[in-house]
Structure 1
Amino acid sequence: MNEIKAENAALRKEISAKEVPGGSQEPGTSGLKDVKTLRDVVDEIASDVKCIEAHVTAEKADQPSKDSADLPPWASHHLISKDFRHYIPRFTEEGILNVGDIDLLEDEIPMFTSIPSEADNDSEDSLLVLKDADLLYQENGRIHHTKDYDHMRRKHKLLILRRGVEFGVDFTFNRPYVKGTDSIKFVFTLEGRRTAEYSHDMSFSLDPAIGVVEMKDEKPTKWLSDWNSYFNNINESTISVQLKTPPKCSIGRWIMKLEVRSQKSKYSRWYQFSRPVYFIFNPWWSEDGAFYSREEHLDEYVLAQTGTIYVGRGDNNYGGYNIVPKTAPIKWAYEQFAPDILECALYLFTHNCPRDKPLTVIERGDVIKVARRLSSVINFDSKDSDGVLWARWNGNHDDGEPPNYWNGSKEILQQYYRTKMNHPSRVAAVKYGQCWVFAAVMTTICRALGIPARPVTNFASAHEKLENGYTFSVDEFVDKQGHDFNTNVNHKFDEIWNYHVWCEAWMQREDIGDLFNGWQVVDSMPQEFCESIYPMGPAPVKACRRGHIDLGYDVNCLFSQVNSDVIQFQWLGPKKHKFLKVVSKKRIGKYLCTKDLNSHKPEDITDTYKTKEGSFDERQSMQNALVLAGLPFNRSNLREKDQEVIFKMAMPEAVIGSVFKYEIVIKNKNPTVQHSGSVWIKVYSAPIYYRRKCLTNFKLDFIVEPGSETRLPGSVEYDQYKKFVMQDGNMQVRYFAVVNNTEITHSNIGHFSFSKLRMTINILDTRLYLTRNFTAMVTIENPLPVPLVDGMFSIHAPGCSRIQKKLPLQGPVPAGTTASVNFELKPLMPGKIDIIANFHSNSENIMTNDGIDVEIMEVEPEIDIQP
């Protein structure tokens, strides 16, 4: 009680600090409205405390309290259990923190309340009286694979369960339970939903937001597809109960009530648990929509809190379409079990999104509907002022963080969710993200809800500008002189992004057939409007492979991104063009990858999206798509022309700060004829989606002898590109070539990314133990020809408490030298943990990312010191 008073006094003091004379508002405060809200809360707390004090005093004197009727519901005198404490919100300048960060007070506020009824006046007192309850957090957490959630590791825990699997609860009553005389019934109600009128005499409910389960004396031989419960054990006055949800139970927070009856009484007694029980998807259960049969893979796709996302570093030398492109790994902390993440996930698909109608109770249990809603609400739409993450590609990130700043999802989701909880009407979108950030956040949300998920990267990803629907072709245009027209800024053209990252989520597809069970693409990054909102997916990967674009869920969009042809037209005016040739059937979707299950290396999954390029099956898939889209199917029979002069590009490795070099390689396959011509070359500072800045534009003439090759070198100095290259260090070389006295033309785009800055993380302690601080050192090497005058490290380590959030450099780092910063971490769980570090410098517009794995031992061995 004293601690409640102390908390109340602290709140009053904080309010006094917030108030501004005359009702004005100071910058940085939440305003007078919030102050009034705080006062209301504090006054309510003070009133509750006064009632409780009067009631306790009266109880000690064995007299009724005149204020007992005004007791707050959580302070009922029927409540005995001390296992869980009621919480009182703490406040910051931004308002009320979410429950995930609330400190729970030590006062004896119980985990359940007695609902007043006529049974309280039953003179026989034959009804059982609930004295205590044990929700068996440790055992249930182990069985349900939920022990790592923050809710389950707090001092005062919240129960998180996966639907469809039994969970146990122990109840202690005032006397032994008598079979045949006593009976128990549970009622579960979905939090935050209006429910049908419920009668205490009902033994079942047709409302999916209400679950009614009568206790059975014996375990059923066959489970019903509804709520189930039975006695597991009776030990004097303590009974052990097993419960089980229906297979399609809605995901969310459920309120649990308990009714006890007796044949010796016409009344019943009800108890309501103070805190909700969370039910989430269960990929370990065969009847769940998120079921994944290979259990060993779920350690990665559901439980792993860190991973690797692959982005593009450019084409390999000579840019062959069948050669795996260079990839750059980004270590990412998903941290799906961190505070507020599950709450945020539930909020995203349950709140009233302005873009679409709310999900029904039944839809909240449908993994397909939930995934589609998530793909819509994660991206920010300025028209609706809603969404988690704000996308921006123009390079202007002064009012937020650049996309490369992020190396984890937790900070993004916590910032969004806490803003929404404190200021529901405020735009809470976090600035800024691009495709890999959206995919990572989507992966975190899916894993938090129990849906297996992983990020996937598509290299050379087509992006059609939709006017007449998807045509499954990237259209390149040349003018009447044969010169490249796609760079004309007055028109919008199809694009080939050097890479695009999306999220794959695993689910069963009862709606379209079991043939399409498995990985589904769910892309939350804003692209084109689909069904008047921004969702993409869940699109079955198997449907994409077969060209079945008629199944809905944006399979046509996915097919276009991974399997379009590149076709060249002559530009004759808006919506007027002439077909020239098929440039390539192999350039698009040439490599798709995700993190390997057993390492941080990429796993090639291209074959899951498309059959071998140029094969009969691949062309058949294209023909299927063309027919279903109402396009001329004979296009699938068009072939690339075999040219006797071949053009390719070579771009050697380079670190940012050095000269960017490239070569156009021209090979003459004709053994007797010499060829000549011209090449027009443009070099852009072009990260994947930005409006490009042309760094250099020139023409080169060439002569290539019979049966030989010639090379046309080019370069861009650091001073030319340093102001324009974004933090991912991407460059783009576009060239267009014409061979004299022939019909041979060739165009291509080469993507290049500078090698990452060298950064290392070293652990300075020899052995690491649970709850013992240890020291690590992060070191950056400056490869630039100029000093690094600023720079910041950010550290993520799921499973640790971070002592320092951001680590700035201690001073300028001269060219060609290194700088180091030490930091401390405290492990909160044993086993392997990943430490991920980002470094970014705003002045030089560079960043890098790396990580290491370390092993945490549970107990430090005792040292026997002999006298």
Structure 2
Amino acid sequence: MAAVAVIGYDLNKKENCTIHHTDDYDIQKNIVLRRGCDFTIGLQLSREFNFQSDFLEVSLARGSKAQLNDGSKFLVSFNTGGTVGDYSWKGGMKHTGECKVDVVLSIPNDCPIGFYRMYITTSAGTITTQESVVILFNPWSKDDDVYMESEAEREEYVLNNNGMIFRGNIKRPSPMHWNYAQFEESCLDAALLMLDGKFLDSDARRNPIKVSRTLAEMININDRDNGVLSGKWLSQGDDPAVEYGDGVPPTLWTGTEAILSQYMWSKFQPVKYAQCWVFAGALTTVLRTLGIPSRPVTNYDSAHDTEANRTIDFYYDMNGEKLYDQSADSIWNFHVWVDAWMSRPDLRGNFGGWQALDATPQEISKHSNTMVAGPAPVRAVKDGQEVSYDAKFIIAEVNADIIYHVQQEDMSFAVAGSDTTQVGSLIATKAVGKFSMADITEEYKYPEGSLQERITAQTGPVGKPRTVRFSINPTEDLEHGKDVEITVTCKPNTFDNYTVGLLATFQPVTYIGGVGKTIKKLKEIREIEKKEEVKVIFSLSPEEYEPYLSDENKLQCTLFATVKETKQLWMGKVTQEFVDPKIQCELPPGFESAKIGSPFTVKLSFTNPLPVPLTGLKWVVEGSGLMKPQVIKDPRTIKPGQEAEQEVELKATRYTRGHMLVARCYSKQLGEITGATLINTE
């Protein structure tokens, strides 16, 4: 009898991918599967398979030098001795018709993730399937290290390719829509190549701790490892058109697909440019692509503690000028990193769940000498426990105290004030199942001022008792063309009379705390009698501030006060942001949902709020499954109060849970504005 041969096969892609929750992947040449699940292969044989005498073997191999003994190759054999599997691989076979069998393979829960070639061998020879097999983590499997119990959370943190990343400031969190595009072929290929670029072995590929940290390292280029994104933060006065001229301004990215596509076709050249939310958006994509639940997290008034002492120290002279040579500490209006979900068997204690992970290059990690932070258990951050990886730095980001120091006549420094509640006073992410903000501050820290929070911060009361209390009340919403006002309230703690000197310094500022030239300094001296409450208003006119604003549209006011009778010093600082218009997305009249393959047009528009014309407009539009990322240069001049319009043609190419059209528009005068709309398909 002739040896049995395989003359055809069927990977049952539709059925297998549905079971494995991978049917959203827009990939034709491969099949995407998750570990901890069975998958079925249909085989057409040259004759009936004899279970007593015939031999059949299915093997998967990762890399060109795959070996059974290092976990890069697996095989399951069906022969007269029964079924034999390597590394907990199991299999089964059954007849399904004339000369047809189904082979069922069970992927172990600890299978190394990656890209595998599949070989089917009988006594007649070996065939290689045209499709390769991609194996991912499985948050649906209880035995996987990334298992997540809630179906709603799996839908949000693994399967949702439309997201929101929050920027702005604590008084006005500003949502920015982001297309993760984790099911696009370029994103999956890039994520797997990042692991190859770091030469991750099989043991590391089994472990979401190692995989997630590796991806975070590869998202930035600071470790000279052919990373993805080049970061750039401008100083006040820099011209964005010049500084970002050889790349894309960070504010113009609308999603990850364009970033990773450019990275792939440029053969791993750095993609320019990124700031924290871009690093976080890209990292969220590759984590979700590989099956690790993840979410971008925004920490408002985020501390960058360069001295690792859980305090942010600012030094000033008696004129209110900051002394930069004394400390490199800073407070960012906001900072975005990523939470990744996984167990932590490497740590003693209950540290599984969300892990903070940061790809933005800030400080070198002592664990690896690379520019990365995490994964650090959020539970450990809340309790102030300095466990692996880099929890110490993240604890300070959310719970450091701010200390203001003023230089005296003898050149020594006195503490002029402190703020124990500003840092990390709001930590936010997208809500599960809806496009709104979820406040997750309590996951990261205890209530401000509580005993547990003070223990975590490891600091106590700072400075001497105050004879006069000061508070700042800024204008709620800054609007272009209107005055900016800062109100300082002074109230004595005793029935004595006091002479209070106040100095207000206005400066433009970036979101990471970089200040520009001083716009104006204002001084006031007030006599306060017997617990009288006095309000002092400092204001700037549009003619004074508009010439100084950068494309970030932020102003900072630093306030310095002295009490003549008691020598009390006080300092405070407030950062405000102008309210920008939103891009309106207008669908065709009567439009309800997009039909697959049928084009339609969307009109984008906004009104110029400035007293000056807008020039050099650049529109960036994308929608996963609707259109590839597109940049449109607009030569028109948009006068004050005039509407800017741009039409784009879209076409849904596949059905999904909802296509998010994301738009940005940039001009030198206004900076970046955003807009988005959700489009359903039928």
Question: Structure 1 length normalisation: TM-score?
Answer: 0.73
Letter in 2 for 1:508: S
Maintained 8 Å contact 1:477/1:570: yes
**Does 1:215 pair with 2:95?**
no
After superposition, what is the alpha-carbon deviation per residue over 1:422-453, rounded to whole angstroms, capped at 9, x for unaligned?
xx6xxx11111111111111101111111111
Partner of 1:368: 209
Partner of 1:503: 338
1:253 to 106, 115, 128: 115
Partner of 1:541: 378
Residue 176 (structure 1) shift: 1.7
Hey, what's the Cα distance between the residues in 2 that align with 1:278 and 1:144?
A: 12
Residue 758 (structure 1) shift: 3.2
Maintained 8 Å contact 2:483/2:542: yes
Name the SS of the counterpart of 1:400 in structure 2. Answer: coil
Partner of 1:175: 47
Partner of 1:41: none
Give the direction of change, closer, same or farther, for the CA distance of 1:713–1:334 in structure 2 (3 Å limit). same
Hey, what's the Cα distance between the residues in 1 that align with 2:412 and 2:389?
A: 31
Letter in 1 for 2:515: R
Give the direction of change, closer, same or farther, for the CA distance of 1:727–1:289 in structure 2 (3 Å limit). farther
Residue 570 (structure 1) shift: 5.2
Partner of 2:30: 158
Hey, what's the Cα distance between the residues in 2 that align with 1:409 and 1:710?
A: 51
Partner of 1:22: none
Partner of 2:104: 242
Partner of 1:586: 421
Give the direction of change, closer, same or farther, for the CA distance of 1:367–1:189 in structure 2 (3 Å limit). same
Maintained 8 Å contact 1:722/1:844: no
Hey, what's the Cα distance between the residues in 2 that align with 1:306 and 1:850?
A: 13
Residue 708 (structure 1) shift: 4.0
* Paired residues for 1:432-831 under 5 Å: 432-466=273-307, 470-479=308-317, 481=318, 484=320, 487-513=322-348, 515-531=350-366, 532-549=369-386, 551-569=387-405, 571=407, 580=415, 583-623=418-458, 635-636=459-460, 641=465, 644-655=468-479, 657-670=480-493, 672-689=495-512, 691-703=514-526, 704-722=528-546, 724-766=548-590, 767=592, 768-802=594-628, 805-809=630-634, 811-830=636-655
Letter in 2 for 1:337: F
Hey, what's the Cα distance between the residues in 2 that align with 1:445 and 1:401?
A: 21
Hey, what's the Cα distance between the residues in 1 that align with 2:621 and 2:213?
A: 32
Name the SS of the counterpart of 2:259 in structure 1. Answer: helix
**Does 1:414 pair with 2:261?**
yes
Maintained 8 Å contact 1:582/1:640: no
Q: Number of aligned pairs?
A: 670
After superposition, what is the alpha-carbon deviation per residue over 1:92-113, rounded to whole angstroms, capped at 9, x for unaligned?
xxxxxxxxxxxxxxxxxxxxxx
Hey, what's the Cα distance between the residues in 1 that align with 2:544 and 2:262?
A: 38
Hey, what's the Cα distance between the residues in 1 that align with 2:665 and 2:672?
A: 4
Letter in 1 for 2:455: Q
Unaligned segments of structure 1, at least 5 residues? 1-123, 197-204, 262-267, 316-324, 353-357, 624-634, 858-867
Maintained 8 Å contact 2:181/2:257: yes
Maintained 8 Å contact 1:667/1:707: no
Give the direction of change, closer, same or farther, for the CA distance of 1:484–1:722 in structure 2 (3 Å limit). closer
Hey, what's the Cα distance between the residues in 1 that align with 2:487 and 2:513?
A: 24
Letter in 1 for 2:597: T
Hey, what's the Cα distance between the residues in 2 that align with 1:460 and 1:436?
A: 15
Maintained 8 Å contact 2:24/2:183: yes
Question: Structure 2 length normalisation: TM-score?
Answer: 0.92
* Paired residues for 1:102-141 under 5 Å: 124-125=1-2, 127-141=3-17
Hey, what's the Cα distance between the residues in 2 that align with 1:571 and 1:672?
A: 29
Residue 841 (structure 1) shift: 3.3
Partner of 1:841: 666
After superposition, what is the alpha-carbon deviation per residue over 1:738-791, rounded to whole angstroms, capped at 9, x for unaligned?
122124322122111111223210111524322211221111111111222331
1:388 to 228, 233, 238: 228
Residue 620 (structure 1) shift: 2.9
Judging by fraction of residues, say which structure has more helix.
1
Hey, what's the Cα distance between the residues in 2 that align with 1:510 and 1:644?
A: 52
Partner of 1:206: 69
Specify the structure having the higher radius of gyration (Cα). 1
After superposition, what is the alpha-carbon deviation per residue over 1:30-59, rounded to whole angstroms, capped at 9, x for unaligned?
xxxxxxxxxxxxxxxxxxxxxxxxxxxxxx
Letter in 1 for 2:600: F
Judging by fraction of residues, say which structure has more strand.
2
Give the direction of change, closer, same or farther, for the CA distance of 1:640–1:339 in structure 2 (3 Å limit). farther
Partner of 1:292: 148
Hey, what's the Cα distance between the residues in 1 that align with 2:409 and 2:190?
A: 49
Maintained 8 Å contact 1:570/1:580: yes
2:66 to 195, 220, 223: 195
Letter in 2 for 1:841: Y
Residue 340 (structure 1) shift: 0.9
Name the SS of the counterpart of 1:693 in structure 2. Answer: coil
Hey, what's the Cα distance between the residues in 1 that align with 2:551 and 2:663?
A: 12
Name the SS of the counterpart of 1:856 in structure 2. Answer: coil
Hey, what's the Cα distance between the residues in 1 that align with 2:106 and 2:645?
A: 53
Hey, what's the Cα distance between the residues in 2 that align with 1:799 and 1:694?
A: 45
Residue 792 (structure 1) shift: 2.4
Maintained 8 Å contact 1:216/1:231: no
Letter in 1 for 2:110: K
Letter in 1 for 2:6: L
Residue 808 (structure 1) shift: 4.0
Residue 540 (structure 1) shift: 0.7
Maintained 8 Å contact 2:504/2:538: no
Name the SS of the counterpart of 1:445 in structure 2. Answer: helix
Partner of 1:861: none
Name the SS of the counterpart of 1:258 in structure 2. Answer: strand
Hey, what's the Cα distance between the residues in 2 that align with 1:312 and 1:739?
A: 34
After superposition, what is the alpha-carbon deviation per residue over 1:322-352, rounded to whole angstroms, capped at 9, x for unaligned?
xxx3211111111111231111011112115
Maintained 8 Å contact 2:415/2:463: no
Residue 717 (structure 1) shift: 4.2
Letter in 2 for 1:742: T
After superposition, what is the alpha-carbon deviation per residue over 1:590-611, rounded to whole angstroms, capped at 9, x for unaligned?
1101011132221111111111
Hey, what's the Cα distance between the residues in 2 that align with 1:742 and 1:187?
A: 82
Structure with bigger RCO (C-alpha 8 Å, 6+ apart): 2
Give the direction of change, closer, same or farther, for the CA distance of 1:168–1:403 in structure 2 (3 Å limit). same
Name the SS of the counterpart of 1:439 in structure 2. Answer: helix
Q: CA RMSD in A?
A: 2.7
Letter in 2 for 1:558: I
Partner of 1:148: 24
Hey, what's the Cα distance between the residues in 2 that align with 1:586 and 1:212?
A: 58
Give the direction of change, closer, same or farther, for the CA distance of 1:279–1:825 in structure 2 (3 Å limit). same
Partner of 1:328: 174
Unaligned segments of structure 2, at least 5 residues? none
Percent identity over paired residues: 26
Give the direction of change, closer, same or farther, for the CA distance of 1:216–1:246 in structure 2 (3 Å limit). farther
Partner of 1:311: 167
